[in-house]
Chain A
Amino acid sequence: MKSFVFRKKAMNILMIGLTGLCTLMTGAILFFFLGYLVSRGASSLNWAFFTKLPAPVGEIGGGMANAIVGSGKVLLLATLIGVPIGFLGGVYLNEYAGATMAFVIRYATDLLNGVPSIVIGIVVYALVVHPMGHFSTFAGGVALGIMMIPISVRSTEEFLHAVPMSLREAAIALGASKWKAIVTVIIPAAIRGIVTGTMLDFARVAGETAPLLFTALGNQFWSPGWNHETATLPFVVYTYALSAYQDWHRQAWAAGFVLLMLVLGINVTARLILSRGSYRPSGGA
């Protein structure tokens, strides 16, 4: 009996210790890597990085101004494509869809969310790049836009769903038509959540590289308009990291650092906004 009690206690302490160790390891590994990136990246960063074009192969120096602008353009286009479709789809899902339609659309959305990003790249290549005959900012925007849709749908749906029924009933009782109630009461009540959902969505595709390999490609120079191939930050991280030049490696670290700060910055801001209060889906976002 005594040894049983002892074993029970020892097991308790041992397992709490072991699981604690797992947590510590998870945290430590990730922080070691990211800490390394921050220190190496920050020390590689300079003003030229933001203002200059890439230097010709073999020359030291230069920057990635074109990749920063390129990423901005691709992401702008992606947001313009992905967010309206996702938002309106989410409104349909929560406000209009019957049970069967809701199931079908939710299923399609989950499926789309699970498609590996490289596969999206192939499809956009076949649908946009191949018919147009060349790589372009536009194609990159389409690829990332498609990737933005599923998260946008689900976050819109979730936050609309969290709006209390009494608000809808009050709006209807005052004589508002259904869409008036949606536009003037329900969406404003959920807007904070929807905006943060969109920010998280944006941050997720900002770091996507694989779909851009076959759509936006890359470019050592400025890319005028929407119809030419363009450099983007994640793409330069990839190509520069694989190159044979020391100075390009340095710039890859700098670009990785900028990208990481962008993504984490948006994430933290979004979560802070959300924690300031909003109708929230049960169990957190």
Chain B
Amino acid sequence: MATTPTLDRHTLPSGGRVRSFIKRLRAGEEAAYLLTLAAAATILLITSLIFYELYVQSALSRHKFGFHFLFTQTWNPVTGDFGALPYVYGTVVTSVLALIIAIPQGLGSAIFLAELAPPKISDALAFLIELLAAVPSVIFGLLGMYVLVPILQSSVVPALRTVFGFLPVFQGAFYGVSYFAAGVVLSIMIVPFIVSISREVLLAVPQEQREASLAVGANRWQTTWHVVVPYALKGIMGSIFLALARALGETMAVTMVIGNVPQIKASLLAPGYSIAAVIANEFTEAVGDLYTSALIELGLVLFLVTFVINGLARLMIMTTTRQGAHS
């Protein structure tokens, strides 16, 4: 797609093959080609090496526990029993919670910025929101610990309890650090992703679609909701999947607010743990090959899950806009 058909290196005039190769090498032609090829091959090598290392280094744990690893709850370095269910649970719960908050908010913002707001305001706000997507996660962790958690404790959670207190997810003691806090921090972090990619996808919808809809008497909102959004739906789904992949793999912010207690509780207000957080906390202190290998297996799980989700996301965005494929 990117190469120029007329300038393909294979169409260069060829004399004796070896002689012309040496000639081109001297002229720098082949050298330049080989150099860039080597760089490209390095990328392939590194990507495969990551998978290979995770797979090989987790062998001990994979062989010993098999698939039970993901479905048992004991995590005991002393007896050598490792079951990752509490971490998997925490990762899933916090990511789903983050999506529940971030999808309506992010999509609403993207629709407003792409379709309804005046272009100047839209561009300026989109610029700012994109800047916010660049804020490092450790800073969100810091803010989560010292700003968000106190706010949740003093006002948000009591308010939620008076309305939804009968639901099991809002029962039990609340000490601040919890699945809930982690989910909220994650949602704040992924909203900018959803907004900036969805906005781009919406802007890529052909103008004729809108004009046709307006011409038959639909108003702005009807056009947006019944014509533009369905047209861009795949790309929007893609942006949500990208955000999900980021939430699942997010380490620092979650580690700082989830509480780091390996347990499975129905209440969102209870402290929990996540896959990335347990790796961050225990990896350097892990004693013994089995313990290290179990943590690396968690890394492998994270790698595979994000691999699948990212793949789906790229596929969906690519089918809507070429541009979105590398944002």
Given contacts A22-B105, A126-B53, contact A34 B112 (CB under 8 A): no
A45 CB within 8 Å of chain B: no
**Partner of A85 from B42, B48, B283, B323 at Cβ < 8 Å:** B42
Instruction: For the complex, give the distance between the alpha carbons of A214 and B280 in Å.
Output: 8
- Compute how far the CA of A122 lies from the CA of B43 in the bound complex, rounded to whole angstroms: 18
Q: Is the CB of B135 within 8 A of A263?
A: yes
Q: Does A55 contact B (CB under 8 A)?
A: no
- What per-residue 1/0 map shows which CB atoms of A1-35 lie under 8 Å from chain B? 00000001101100110111111011101100110
CB contact between A149 and one of B29, B46, B245, B283 (< 8 Å): that residue: B46
Closest A residue by C-beta to B56:
A126
B136-156 Cβ-contact flags toward A at 8 Å (1 or 0)? 111111110111100000000
A residues 186-205 in Cβ contact with B at 8 Å: 200, 203-204
Does residue B172 face the partner (Cβ distance < 8 Å to A)? no
Question: 8 Å CB contacts to A: which residues of B5-29?
Answer: 6-7, 9, 12, 27-29
Q: Are B36 and A88 in contact (CB under 8 A)?
A: yes
Asked whether A283 is an interface residue with its Cβ less than 8 Å from the other chain, the reply is: yes
Interchain CB contact under 8 A, A207 and B138? yes
B195/A26 in contact, CB under 8 A: yes
Would B303 and A206 count as touching, CB distance under 8 A? no
A139: Cβ under 8 A from any B Cβ: no
Please name all residues of chain B whose beta carbon is closer than 8 Å to the beta carbon of A116 when the two chains form the complex.
248-251, 276, 302-303, 306
Q: What is the interface residue range for chain A against chain B? A: 35 or more
Across the interface, do B125 and A89 meet the contact criterion of CB distance under 8 Å? no
A209 lies within 8 A of B276 (CB) = no
CB-contacts of A106-136 with B (<8 A): 108-123, 125-127
User: Contact at B57–A34, with CB atoms within 8 Å?
Assistant: no
> A97 and B40 in contact (CB under 8 A), knowing A11-B221, A26-B129, A177-B27?
yes
Please give the distance in Å from B309's CB to the nearest CB on chain A: 8
Contact: B36 with A89, CB < 8 Å? yes
Quick one: closest B residue to A234, CB to CB?
Answer: B138
Shortest Cβ distance from A205 into chain B, in angstroms? 9
In contact, B54 and A214 (Cβ under 8 angstroms): no
CA distance A182 to B106 in the complex (A): 41
The answer to whether the Cβ of B160 comes within 8 Å of any Cβ in the partner chain is no
Contact: B136 with A259, CB < 8 Å? yes
In chain B, what residue has the closest Cβ to A145? Answer: B46
Asked if B248 contacts A178 (CB within 8 A), the reply is no
Question: Given contacts A209-B136, A264-B134, are A149 and B43 in contact (CB under 8 A)?
Answer: yes
Q: What string of 1s and 0s marks CB contacts (under 8 Å) between B272-288 and chain A?
A: 00001001100110000
Return B180 CB to nearest CB of chain A, in Å.
Answer: 16
Q: Which residues of B contact A146 (CB under 8 A)?
A: 46
> Using a Cβ–Cβ cut-off of 8 Å, how many residues does chain B contribute to the interface with A?
101
Cβ of A12 and Cβ of B220 under 8 Å apart? yes
The CA of A90 and the CA of B72, in the complex, are separated in Å by 44
Against A, the Cβ 8 Å flags (1 = close, 0 = not) of B29-66 are: 10111011111101110111110011001000000000
* CA A259 to CA B142, docked complex, whole Å: 12
With a 10 A CB-CB cut-off, give which of B36, B141, B276, B295 has the most chain A CB atoms: B36
Residues of A within 8 Å of B53, CB to CB, are 122-123, 126-127
Q: Which residue of A lies closest to B314 (CB)?
A: A110
CB-CB under 8 A for A27 and B47, given A119-B299, A283-B323: no
Judging by beta carbons under 8 Å apart, are B37 and A96 in contact? yes
Tell whether, in the assembled complex, residue B225 and residue A15 are in contact, meaning their CB atoms are under 8 Å apart.
Answer: yes
Stretch from A60-68, A72-80, A165-173, A220-228 contacting the other chain: A165-173
In this complex, which of A23, A110, A249, A263 has the most chain B Cβ atoms within 10 angstroms of its Cβ? A23
In the complex, whether A213 has a CB less than 8 A from a CB of chain B is yes
Of the residues A27, A108, A127, contact of B43 by C-beta under 8 Å: A108
A178 interface neighbour in B7, B109, B311, Cβ under 8 Å: B7
**A residues within 8 A CB of B191?**
26, 30
A116-B303, A263-B135 known; A23 and B36 CB under 8 Å? no
Shortest beta-carbon distance, B289 to chain A, in Å?
Answer: 12
Residue B204 interfacial (CB < 8 Å): yes
**Given the contacts A96-B37, A127-B53, A268-B131, A29 and B188 also touching, CB distance less than 8 Å:** yes
Q: Once the chains bind, are A36 and B40 in contact (CB under 8 Å)?
A: no
A247 at interface (Cβ–Cβ under 8 A)? no
B120 interface hit (Cβ, 8 Å)? no
10 cross-chain pairs, A with B, having the tightest CB-CB distances, nearest first = A207-B136, A116-B249, A22-B108, A88-B39, A114-B310, A92-B36, A19-B112, A179-B32, A283-B323, A210-B251
Given contacts A26-B106, A30-B132, list 4 more A-B pairs with CB under 8 A: A9-B219, A18-B108, A89-B36, A108-B44
Residues of A within 8 A of B (CB): 8-9, 11-12, 15-16, 18-23, 25-27, 29-30, 33-34, 36-37, 84-89, 91-99, 101-102, 104-105, 108-123, 125-127, 146, 149-150, 153-154, 157-158, 160-161, 165, 168-169, 172, 177-183, 200, 203-204, 206-210, 213-214, 217, 234, 237-238, 241-242, 249, 252-253, 256, 259-260, 263-264, 267-268, 271, 281-284
By a beta-carbon cutoff of 8 Å, the part of chain B in contact with chain A is: 1-4, 6-7, 9, 12, 27-29, 31-33, 35-40, 42-44, 46-50, 53-54, 57, 104-109, 111-113, 116-117, 125, 127-129, 131-132, 134-143, 145-148, 188, 191-192, 195, 200, 203-204, 219-222, 224-225, 245, 248-252, 256, 276, 279-280, 283-284, 295-296, 299, 302-303, 306-307, 310-311, 314, 321, 323, 325-326
**What are 13 A-B interface contacts by the 8 Å CB criterion?**
A12-B222, A21-B108, A26-B129, A89-B40, A96-B3, A105-B40, A118-B249, A150-B43, A183-B32, A213-B283, A238-B141, A241-B146, A267-B131
